[in-house]
Amino acid sequence: MLKTFPTGGVHPPENKLTAGIPIEYLPVPGNVVIPLSQHIGAPANPVVAKGDMVKTGQLIAEGKGFVSANVHSSVSGKVSKIDTAADSSGLKQTAVFIDVEGDEWLDTIDRNTNIVRDIMLSAEDIIKKCFESGIVGMGGATFPSHIKLNVPSGKKCDVLIINGVECEPYLTSDHRLMLEKGEEILVGTSILMKALKVEKAMIGIENNKPDAIARMTSLASSFTGITVHPLKVKYPQGAEKQLIKALINREVPSGRLPVDVGAVVHNTGTAFAVYEAVQKNKPLIERVVTVTGKSVSKPGNYMIRIGTPLSRVLEAVGGIPDDTGKIINGGPMMGKAVSNTDAPVVKGMSGIILVPAAEAVRKEINPCIRCARCVSVCPIHLEPYLLMTLSERSMFERAEKERITDCMECGSCSFTCPAGRPLLDYIRLGKSTVIRMARQKVLK
């Protein structure tokens, strides 16, 4: 019997079309737009000006404040302007625009592909390096990684969990990374273990990736303390708290962090980025993005420089198919529709899915039939039907009491609802309103 989390969850059709396609490097684009806020927290402060020449890997914006991350140039060339640019939702953010000239990397970056296993840096230096290199959670949440590595005093972390679950349908970027860069990920894991001062690391991989499980298991035998654990396929197992429950059977209480139960979770993509930052001195300037869809002519897993316009990426996969109804940034369950194809690829973009128009239509909204299926699939014991009604009627104080902020927006409720209720739409609204209200209260 394979491990999984006990409550709720769904099993959407997997559609992992690109699982067998090796990672391909996308050519450097002619120009890039690098947003200064690609992470959760305060936007970074630009340290370059219009007209400056930058090299690949050079720091262009410095993280300020406690929760923030550095941003580096992913190309070499000239800064054409620092201005607002629309992200994939059309909302404007400050970004650095660079016109590409050649591809000249900083001399300090080791571009050799040989694997360096010896970890030279101390725990403190590793954390510092992660901050300097702009490492953020690569699973999509983009929380600055160095903060997660600093275990607060008084708390003790005894296990590191590496998230290779990739429970979202369609996405295969972590899967391919484990197959092709497995050893790097394991060295990255050892680095993270050293930073956290833990002896044990567990890699959780869902059972629909047997090749990745086999590969990681055989590689892990030469690393001390790292074990690989196959997990039953169930969405949303890739969520931090669900993965902790599945692997070590500890429950993170509401409003608390994984470190409160002695665990820290990092994504495989993050482990790889940490390896590159610490061993190769390479900041986070590119990432694997799964570009897929049933009608896409060249779907695949592409290593893309941060800041590459989406339109360039879509061109590279053979253009937007005629039957496309929706382009999704992220997985089909949690991702958001893209309204602006000029938006750049950012650190948290794990996939781009081109959904045919026939599949992109929303279900007709019907009255609630009180079947309570949303309640049974909610992995965190919430009552989605109630939260939806409360948000719809602007009863936000009550929604807060019903723990709307615990919702991780996995969308299992909306996916399951036989009446097509827009549960998550309203819960998202309520959650963001409650968070905003709480912030205003703090400011007062």
Partner 1 sequence: MSPTILITIISLSLLAFLSAVILYFIAQKFKVYEDPRIDEVQALLPAANCGGCGFAGCRNFAEAIVKSDSFEGLNCPVGGAAVMGNIAGLLGRTAPVSDPKVAVLKCNGSTEYRARTSVYNGVADCRIVHNLYIGETDCSYGCLGYGDCERACAFDALHINPVSLLPEISDEKCTSCGSCVKACPRNLIELRKKAKKDRKIYVACSNCDKGGPARRACKVACIGCSKCVKVCAFDAITLENNLAYIDATKCTFCRKCVPECPTNAIIEVNFPPRKPKAEAEVEAVKT
**Is residue 2 at the binding interface for partner 1, with CB under 8 A as the rule?**
no
**Is residue 385 at the binding interface for partner 1, with CB under 8 A as the rule?**
no
Type and span of the H or E element at 230: strand 226-231
Classify strands 351-356 and 324-329 as parallel, antiparallel or unpaired.
antiparallel
Q: Which stretch binds partner 1 (CB under 8 A): 113-121, 137-145, 264-272, 420-428?
A: 420-428
DSSP annotation string for 245-301: HHHH---PPTT--GGGGTEEEEEHHHHHHHHHHHHH---S-EEEEEEE-TT-SS-EE
**Is residue 339 at the binding interface for partner 1, with CB under 8 A as the rule?**
yes
**Is residue 321 at the binding interface for partner 1, with CB under 8 A as the rule?**
no
Report the distance separating Cα 420 and Cα 320, nearest Å.
Answer: 28
**Is residue 337 at the binding interface for partner 1, with CB under 8 A as the rule?**
yes
Give residues 228-257 in contact with partner 1 (rule: CB under 8 A): none
Extract the tokens encoding 311: 């339109």
**Is residue 422 at the binding interface for partner 1, with CB under 8 A as the rule?**
yes
Identified binder of partner 1 from the candidate list 2, 49, 53, 365, rule CB under 8 A: 365
Identified binder of partner 1 from the candidate list 86, 109, 257, 375, rule CB under 8 A: 86
How wide is the angle at C-alpha 309 spanned by C-alphas 131 and 145, nearest 5°? Answer: 15
Give residues 66-85 in contact with partner 1 (rule: CB under 8 A): 84
Contact 251, 265 (CB under 8 A): no
Identified binder of partner 1 from the candidate list 11, 50, 92, 298, rule CB under 8 A: 92
CB of 365 to partner 1, least distance (A): 7
**Is residue 444 at the binding interface for partner 1, with CB under 8 A as the rule?**
no
**Is residue 7 at the binding interface for partner 1, with CB under 8 A as the rule?**
no
Phi, psi of 288 (to 5 degrees): -85, 130
Classify strands 200-206 and 159-164 as parallel, antiparallel or unpaired.
parallel
**Is residue 115 at the binding interface for partner 1, with CB under 8 A as the rule?**
no
Give residues 388-407 in contact with partner 1 (rule: CB under 8 A): 392
Nearest to 142 by CA among 46, 44, 41: 41
Q: Applying CB under 8 A, which residues contact partner 1?
A: 84, 86, 89-92, 336-337, 339-340, 360-362, 365, 392, 422, 425-426, 428-429, 432-433
